[in-house]
Amino acid sequence: MTHVVLFHSVLGLRQAELAAAERLRVAGHEVTTPDLYRGEIASTLEDGFALKDRIGWGTVAGRALDAARELPDDTVLAGLSMGAVVAAGLLPHRPATAGVLLLHAIADIPPKVRQGLPIQLHAADPDDFAPPAALPGWLDAATRSGADARLFTYPGAGHFYTDSSLPDHDEDAAALTWQRVLEFLAIQPSG
């Protein structure tokens, strides 16, 4: 069993994140899904960004740090879209993190992480939140930081391709992503 903290997208904690968490629980993992918006959700990206801006990035990041504080040190940090940025932002505060899963968005990795820290980035191709031109640089920077970084792209999929409730959904890409995520979690240390 691996502990995972799964951070939601800019749309808020919705059924998509809860379903993802349940998929991981069924596989035997313990999953925490912090609600960084405290119950508020948005139905469009535009509304989601407005909601995030109204709440404030400092508040969102602070709530994420508070939510992770009580979790085991070796918890895997994971996030969907904006949640990927939230997860990566916790790395400086959680040096014993077992691994990092970034889904649907690129996120900056600190210049120095624990040697061999496993990181996976899963993104649609193309995706404005993980621009194809930026991916080689991201992979190079993450590798230079000491991470064991892996990049998986899904050609033709939409941004939120794992969310079956949205038009972006791509069943094949989602299935392959979750297969890879479960394989990733299966090799992480038990919490």
74 within a domain of the structure (yes/no): yes
| pLDDT at 26 (0 to 100) | 97
Checking if the pLDDT of 189 tops 80, the result is: no
- CATH number of the domain where residue 44 is located: 3.40.50.1820
191 within a domain of the structure (yes/no): no
For residue range 48-80, list pLDDT tens digits in order. 999 999 999 999 999 999 999 999 999 999 999
**How many Cα neighbours within 13 Å face the side chain of 151?**
20
List, in sequence order, the alpha helices (H) in 107-159. 135-144
Given the structure tokens 């960084």, which residue do they identify? 36
Token pair recorded at residue 17:
């994140």
Alpha carbons 1 and 128: distance in angstroms, whole number: 34
Burial class (CB in 10 A: 0-12, 13-18, 19+), 40: middle
| pLDDT at 190 (0 to 100) | 55
User: What pTM does this model have?
Assistant: 0.96
30 within a domain of the structure (yes/no): yes
Checking if the pLDDT of 5 tops 70, the result is: yes
**Mean pLDDT rounded to a whole number for the chain:** 96
Tell me how crowded residue 51 is: count the other CB atoms within 10 A of its CB: 17
Give the domain extent around 81.
3-186
Given the structure tokens 């392959």, which residue do they identify? 176
102 within a domain of the structure (yes/no): yes
Domain count, the chain: 1
137 within a domain of the structure (yes/no): yes
Bigger pLDDT: 112 vs 191: 112
159 within a domain of the structure (yes/no): yes
| pLDDT at 163 (0 to 100) | 95
Find the helix packing angle between 45-55 and 57-69, rounded to 10°: 80
